[in-house]
Structure 1
C-alpha cells in the first residue's frame, strides 16, 4: 500500500530531520564542551600562575618582615638608649631649673629685706639730719648768745 509506504517515508523524513537536528545539537554541544574544556584548562593555568604569584608575594613579604625585624633589632636598642639619655638630660635640666627658681625666690626675699633696711636707714638718716640741723641751730644760737 502506497499510503502506508508514504506515511513511513514521511515518518522517516521527519525522523531523519530530527536525527540531523540532534546531530547538529550534539556537534554544537561537543563544540561548547571543547570550548569549556579549553576555558577550564586556561583557567587552571591562570589559577596556577596566580598561586605561583601569591607564593612569590608571600615569600617577598616574609623576607621584608625578616628585614624589618633585623632593622628593629639593630636600631631600636640605640634609639632606646638615646631616648633614655635625653630623658636623663631633661630631668637634670628640670632639676637645675627648679634650683634656679628657688635661688630667684631667695634673692627676691633678700632684695625685699635689703629694701626694707634701706628704707629704715633712710628714715633714720633723715631723723639724724633733722637732729643735726636742730643741734647746729642751737649751737649757733648759743654762740650768738655768748657774744
Structure 2
C-alpha cells in the first residue's frame, strides 16, 4: 500500500514531478505515505458523503459554488492533516539521530500541497459516484 501512495506523492507516473530529494525517501521508509494516503482517501470520501447526503439538503447548499467551497475545505483539511502527520513521522524517524530532522518548512509544505491536490482530485471523483443518490445535489457539480 505504501508503494501505491508513493506513486501518487512522488509523481512517479509523471516523471518524479513531486519527488523531494531525501524527504521522499525518508517518508517512504517511515511508512508515512500509507497512513497519510489512507487519511486523505477516507476523509475525502466521508466528507463528500456528508455533503451529498446532509449538507446539500438544506437551503441552497446544493449549488455549485457551495460544492466548490466544500471541495476547497476538504483540500485545506487534508493539507493540515498531511503537514501534521508528516512532521510527526519524520520527527519519529529521526528521533534516534543526534542532529534531528534535516528538513525545513519547505519540504513539509510542498508535500502537504501535493496531498491537498490529490484530496481535491479524489473528492471530485467521489462526487461523481455519490451525487446520483442525493436528494437535491444530484446535478452538482454538473
Same fold (TM over 0.5): no
The two structures have a TM-score, normalised by structure 1, of 0.24
Greater relative contact order structure (CA < 8 Å, 6+ sep): 2
More helix by share: 1
TM-score (norm 2): 0.25
